[in-house]
Amino acid sequence: MSAAEPAKSGTYKGLKLTNTLTRQKENFQAIDDSNVRLYVCGPTVYDFAHIGNARPAIVFDVLYRLLRHLYGVDHVTYARNITDVDDKINARALRDFPDMELNEAIAKVTKKTADQYHKDVAALGTLEPSHEPRATEHITGMIQMIEDLVAKGHAYVADTADGGEVLFDTVSMPDYGGLSKRKLDEQIAGARIAVDNHKKNPGDFVLWKLSSPEEPGWDSPWGRGRPGWHIECSVMSEHHLGKVFDIHGGGLDLIFPHHENEIAQSRCAHGTKTMSNYWVHNGFVQIEGKKMSKSEGNFFTIRELLETENFGGRKWPGEVLRLAMLMTHYKEPIDFSVRKLEEAENLLGKWPDPIETDVPPAAEVLDALNDDLNTAAAIQALHSLAGEAGKDPAKLAVYSASAALLGVHPVQADLSGIDETAIQAAIDARLNALNAKNWAEADQIRADLTSQGILLKDSKDSETGARITTWEVKR
């Protein structure tokens, strides 16, 4: 083991995580209990985040909350980056602002998109990370790491007409492919296209590339250019969490090539046996049983789900989106559907309003989360607690603490500015529709109210059997 590489010396506190690196569920032990470190790949801010991007934001927020509970709020560091230099951003800036100077257009695109991302994930109930580094803030560190890789024989300047492109030499790392379990010789044998003339090997990837005068760029030993995608996270994670840290997270789609190449860069630059001790990846998101794509017409951004009626003909509150995501184990693919959202909304409608409390969460909820973030089991346990709390107010505190641990914490909203007369009129209209057996109109009225954050609860008068509808506002 390198002198630069710390060992797992922390106390086992009951948490088990499936480690993509070993394909095993392992006991989690931190490097340092006083500073447990988590890094998650954040958005590339060229477009609004889609519902697939919401899943890692929610999943790793639950892990962050759990780590804070186990180790203490002040002993967990969570870094989630923003990629704000990327060719997709350049293309979006040129498309949206063709008459604007490119750097100004890029700044406009990245600010608008990052601001919307922050608004979206806040609506999903996520905590702010400890650090949110941006790629453009760490260019100097990227240049330094690339220089180190070249000096150590793990990277080379490509032989091109213009020069200036630096590539990572995958053959220089004998165990390259350890995360994805892809052997380098298999990648070469299975290559379907001819190797670029300037590459030594098919799997070699870009660390630095030249920029044209019209493109954003920074001065470097290889000419004015910009970094490749993978080098960003290697540098930003080291800056905030160290050369070796505890947990690296992201979606399954990032295992190869992004996370594989992060590992290669970091290990070869620092001389360590690992970059992160645990690698955790969430599964894919399908929409109504199909892969999400714009060509299928089923591509939805978080903003659309929150603010428009493009999915299921209505808006969806953030807490409903969050709960629907957590009803499936993070490793499994999730079928995101109107039915699942309605199921989540129905659950929330049955749960009592929580209270502020400092009691510990229920053991059954904590045990479920400690078992590889089994949020599905935790929600089942929480539902049972909700039923008990509804019958016994003394149990409300434990329910509230358990809901907070999951981040599914529906709280009574401020009623100021609510038009109670209009709400009651809508409820009366719905009742008339139900009496007339006009189910479609009744459902539409309920959906309209829900989109405004007004949740209806139906019950029956114990003596007359008449329908009684009450309402509450949920944030």
Tens of pLDDT, residues 71-88: 999 999 999 999 999 999
Q: How far is CA 203 from CA 173, 188, 235, 318, in A?
A: 12, 7, 21, 41
Q: Which residues pair with 77 in a beta bridge?
A: 37
pLDDT of residue 411: 53
pLDDT of residue 474: 57
Kindly tell me the sign of the dihedral angle through the C-alpha atoms of 162, 165, 166, 169.
negative
Q: Which residues pair with 208 in a beta bridge?
A: 166, 227
Angle between helices 396-406 and 375-391 (to 10 degrees): 160
pLDDT of residue 461: 64
Residue 10 near residue 33 (C-beta atoms within 8 A): yes
Angle at 107 between CA 101 and CA 113, to 5 degrees: 135
pLDDT of residue 159: 77
Q: Which residues pair with 276 in a beta bridge?
A: 245
Q: How far is CA 256 from CA 181, 280, 392, 441, in A?
A: 10, 13, 50, 49
Which mean pLDDT values do the consecutive 10-residue runs of the chain (475 residues) have?
66 97 98 98 96 97 98 97 95 94 92 95 95 97 98 92 87 96 62 59 95 92 95 98 98 97 98 97 94 86 96 95 98 96 95 92 98 98 95 93 90 62 90 86 81 73 75 65
pLDDT of residue 48: 96
pLDDT of residue 229: 92
Residue 265 near residue 176 (C-beta atoms within 8 A): no
Residues of the chain with CATH 3.40.50.620: 16-282
Looking only at the bridges linking them, the beta strands covering 205-210 and 166-168 are antiparallel
pLDDT of residue 451: 66
pLDDT of residue 186: 56
Q: Under CATH, domain 16-282 is a member of which superfamily?
A: HUPs (3.40.50.620)
pLDDT of residue 187: 56
